[in-house]
Structure 1
Amino acid sequence: MTHKQPNILFLMADQMAASALPCYGHPLVKTPHLSRLAEEGVVFDSAYCNSPLCAPSRFTLMAGQLPSRIGGYDNAADFAADIPTYAHYLRDAGYTTALSGKMHFCGPDQLHGFEQRLTTDIYPADYGWFVDWENFDARPSYYHNMSSVTQAGPCVRSNQLDFDDEVTFRAKRFLYDYVRNGEQRPFCLTVSLTHPHDPYTIPQEYWDRYDHDAIDLPRVPYSRELMDPHSKRLRHVYQLDEETLNDAQIRKARHAYYGAISYVDDQIGAVLKTLEETGLADDTIIVFSGDHGDMLGERGLWYKMSWFEDSARVPMIVHAPGRFAPGRVRESVSTMDLLPTFAEFANDGIAPEYAAPLDGRSLLPHLTGSGGHDEVIGEYLGEGAIAPLLMIRRGRYKFVHSAPDPDQLFDLEADPLELDNLAQQPAYLDLCKQFRDEIASRWDYARLHDEVIASQRRRKLVSRALMQGRVTPWDHQPVFDASTQYMRNTIDLDDLERRARFPAASVE
């Protein structure tokens, strides 16, 4: 690494399954821009989120700490303002920090270290999406249902297109303003798109990039024999029974999802083009990842909320050819590792003094070929669960434990589709005991369960109370000073045009 602090461009896509990208082997999906980043960068073949649900995954990613340490239990959990994030650490290290797009912050603090937030969020910032384990069968209206699949297909416009078009525009504008204003600080710009998250709909242009008849159906279709207790609960939560879907509907949903991935790729391509045009590319480390995956009908499951591979595994690419040799990393890592990685990018490869204990570990040893860890720790505490669902991924094995359910142990080298649960096989009883003992040492399970329930009760009351009478929203309100934009009488016209033009006009 060089002594000059690099810029960091962090690109995120919501609900992006690693297995759906060509750089991870998918034969149909088209992503020329992401594929170029993968060819020139370091690809992590076994990267995971630490909680397969939007908000807790993002809180963990930003804080480098597990959900149980920061109270990030579900999609309406409060993300406390005093939890240091990568934006805080980078800003403290001299960076200008900006967010364009989704981060699903819940609570009054909607910045969490970002100096600028260029858009609002697509999701609400209050506690209204609380989870209630004590009343599991009382299904809230905001939970996923199967309309995303049954109504899948082309569209002209959607809520998510409105959002992501703005995300891309604001990200490009940030880069243009950065060079036009002569900013001397390095930047960390996070660009977080909400596609390819359901609903599964996309404009005809992207639908037409794929032959409908060529769209693959799930490799592992639904069967009763595959239904572990948590999977049954998930199907109940999103109202999926054995008669709900047919193959034609599943194919349409997957077709639209692939089209949405191509849309994401085009938006990323537009941001990367701006990075090149502004002359910033050579000094910028580009990181691409996601918050969790999407089951897309595999095993009869949809969306996320489980520890199966398509739900929990995410893409991760680090592109900086001048710093890190292109290659692939086989060891298991997680998005929780990004905070210490970003902090070391900013500090010439040296870890700063952290203000809070980190659960994440730097990826720099992997990037420089000097070793690195091979372990992911995960917690799922959200909708569809009735108790903590804990995961350890190490070496070739993945172990999943929830007190009400039978344990799950998969050998992902021999069984990548997770069809053979080894937990009850005599040859693996000792290994399962080792994992259970480790879980007992890592977590006070009963205490964690009680803490989740207590948080749910508090937020349920607060959410109900704050909707009575005058409602004061917490949603981020971007402010743009129109008096300083475009042509105004407070600045000389020639001076204004000179400042706005990039690159500067040559003087003959």
Structure 2
Amino acid sequence: MPPNIVCVSIDSLRADFCSFIEDSEETTPFLTRLSNNATVYESAITPSIWTLPVHSSIFTGLFPPEHGILTGNERLGDHPTFAEQLQGANYTTKVFYSNAWLDTADILRGFSTGWSSQPSNQSNTTIKKKTSDRIEYLSPRIQEAIKKGYLYYQDSRPRKVYDLYSMWRSSETSLTGKDTDGEHDVNSAITEMKDIKEPFCWFLHLNEAHWQYKPPNPYHTAFTDRSISALIKNVIHWQNRVYGSRPNRLKTIAGDITPPTREVETFRNLYRGGIRYCDSLVQKLVESLKSAGVWDDTIFILFGDHGDSFGEKGVFGHHFSMDESLIQVPLLIRDPTGQISPGRVSQPVSLVDIYPTILSLAGADIPENSGFDLSKETRDEAFSYYDISEHDYYTNDYGVDKDNLPPPTQHIVWRSQSEKVIHYPISDEYHAVGENEKELKKLLQEHKAGFNLLDTGENKLSKNVQDRLEMMGYLQE
């Protein structure tokens, strides 16, 4: 019987905030214990710095310039995903997630969806329906006034303050006692174990380390002693001021908005709380796999899709930079088949390598790709590509002088923090760290010259996806 495979992607998880790799704070106690019987890749580099192109690379084994999924307006071309390959090898493949970017570009080909409904905003949806049912007999003018008032209240500062205060004063994980999105997805995966069919491949994506940094009780105070009122002000005022809209994010990067040092430290500590919460969700998932009797036959892969910056190079969030706070991510593989030996690997690896590694460990056919099979090969350099030059996040006019923004296209070849070269293609300038600039520049040029580009189709975000992305803060104007 081929091994089962469970992949867990944690959004915005940077390596140096994980205690099983570097952070002195105990952010990942369960993963630290798990890492004793796993392989930890200490120099894993993501192929890009935001969710959509990164997952497109993981599912295809191709770098962003190759697969061409750069803005959300493209559809993945004719290249098999690892889920499609595993389906061909008689695997049951399911995905559990809430981040709407994964619903774009047709990148989940080969996966069936492992949940019955989206958890986000469940209580609000129920209230909306009840309100709609009760006012349908009123005049259209009164109906419209009531609906506008309701929507204003839902998005108002008093409502947000009330929700946060209630969540952090309650022993439940949310105001209504319902699951967070991540817990809903983990619970959905656990439910699926009742009728599990082996071999299976599950992919779970957790968004609980991503902005907004407001982990549920008790994780909100795991790394800070600030009062609830101070934490609420941080979320409602300062996080919104820095991250809450596209103009604010760009103005912060341009230097027009500068959050106080103490508030930035609170961003970091609430972020740590979100990581600790993710660690608890992973523990819950693994313990359920053990209870179901399938853990001993399951390859477990966990990674961060990209990091998050807290002012490094002037950047907050995950755009406009190739700093290690964004490109260096955790990667852990627990392989009970013995094809990958437990231990720590300091050489560079790429998240693109997950594609051939999964297919190799499963004994499935491996299409041509740009990754390295980590059970057989090692690499000396890793590469990452960022390009939003055609993305409306950059091209729209938000009242920000683009001369004050970093370049919208950046490419890097990386050997270590002390040996790397970044290329800015628009100006054709290079920034080198270390003594081997000439060699690394040539390697980066050769890497790009060797790409075989996929023909992508056109993709349009559905209203449902747009609404969910806006609710997550991505499309706020």
Q: Shared fold (TM-score greater than 0.5)?
A: yes
Task: Kindly state the Cα deviation for residue 209 of structure 1 after the two structures are TM-superposed.
Answer: 2.2
Q: Which residue of 2 aligns with 1:399?
A: 421
Task: Kindly state the Cα deviation for residue 106 of structure 1 after the two structures are TM-superposed.
Answer: 5.1
Aligned-partner residue type, residue 438 of structure 2: K
Alignment of 1:37-436 (within 5 A): 37-74=34-71, 76-80=72-76, 82-102=78-98, 104-105=101-102, 107=104, 109=106, 111-118=108-115, 156=167, 157=174, 162-178=180-196, 183=197, 185-212=198-225, 236=250, 238=252, 241=255, 244-305=258-319, 306-321=321-336, 323=338, 324-347=340-363, 352-354=365-367, 357-365=368-376, 372-382=378-388, 386=407, 388-394=409-415, 397-403=419-425, 404=427, 406-411=429-434, 428=435, 431-436=436-441
2: distance between equivalents of 1:374 and 1:441? 15
Task: Kindly state the Cα deviation for residue 388 of structure 1 after the two structures are TM-superposed.
Answer: 3.1
Aligned-partner residue type, residue 61 of structure 1: I
Shift of the 406–154 alpha-carbon distance from structure 1 to 2, 3 Å rule, reads farther
Deviations 1:170-206 (A, max 9, x none): 111122321xxxx2x3000111101200011122311
Aligned-partner residue type, residue 313 of structure 1: Q
2:13 matched to 1:7?
no
Deviations 1:109-140 (A, max 9, x none): 474111334366799xxxxxxxxxxxxxxxxx
Task: Kindly state the Cα deviation for residue 374 of structure 1 after the two structures are TM-superposed.
Answer: 2.3
SS of corresponding position for 2:255? coil
Contact (CA 8 Å) 2:356, 2:366: kept in 1 or not?
no
Contact (CA 8 Å) 1:97, 1:189: kept in 2 or not?
yes
1: distance between equivalents of 2:95 and 2:307? 22
2: distance between equivalents of 1:102 and 1:434? 42
Give the TM-score, by structure 2 length: 0.71
Contact (CA 8 Å) 2:312, 2:323: kept in 1 or not?
no
Task: Kindly state the Cα deviation for residue 243 of structure 1 after the two structures are TM-superposed.
Answer: 5.2
2: distance between equivalents of 1:243 and 1:83? 43
Task: Kindly state the Cα deviation for residue 444 of structure 1 after the two structures are TM-superposed.
Answer: 5.9
2: distance between equivalents of 1:62 and 1:177? 26
SS of corresponding position for 2:316? coil
Deviations 1:384-414 (A, max 9, x none): 6655311111366211101326422224xxx
Unaligned 5+ runs, structure 1? 124-146, 214-232, 366-370, 412-427, 478-508
The size of the alignment, in residue pairs, is 381
Q: Which structure: greater helix fraction?
A: 2
Aligned-partner residue type, residue 373 of structure 1: R
Unaligned 5+ runs, structure 2? 121-156, 168-173, 227-246, 395-405, 469-477
Shift of the 158–391 alpha-carbon distance from structure 1 to 2, 3 Å rule, reads farther
Q: Give the percent of matched residue pairs that are identical in Structure 1 and Structure 2.
A: 24
Shift of the 296–239 alpha-carbon distance from structure 1 to 2, 3 Å rule, reads closer
Aligned-partner residue type, residue 441 of structure 1: E
2: distance between equivalents of 1:95 and 1:475? 32
2: distance between equivalents of 1:122 and 1:408? 44
Over aligned residues, Cα RMSD in angstroms?
A: 3.7
Shift of the 295–155 alpha-carbon distance from structure 1 to 2, 3 Å rule, reads farther
Q: Which residue of 1 aligns with 2:240?
A: none
Give the TM-score, by structure 1 length: 0.67
Contact (CA 8 Å) 1:78, 1:106: kept in 2 or not?
no
Deviations 1:405-450 (A, max 9, x none): 6422224xxxxxxxxxxxxxxxx4xx333333344434369x99xx
Deviates more, 1:303-312 or 1:371-380: 371-380
Shift of the 234–475 alpha-carbon distance from structure 1 to 2, 3 Å rule, reads closer
SS of corresponding position for 2:40? strand
SS of corresponding position for 1:272? helix
Shift of the 472–302 alpha-carbon distance from structure 1 to 2, 3 Å rule, reads closer
Q: Which residue of 2 aligns with 1:441?
A: 446
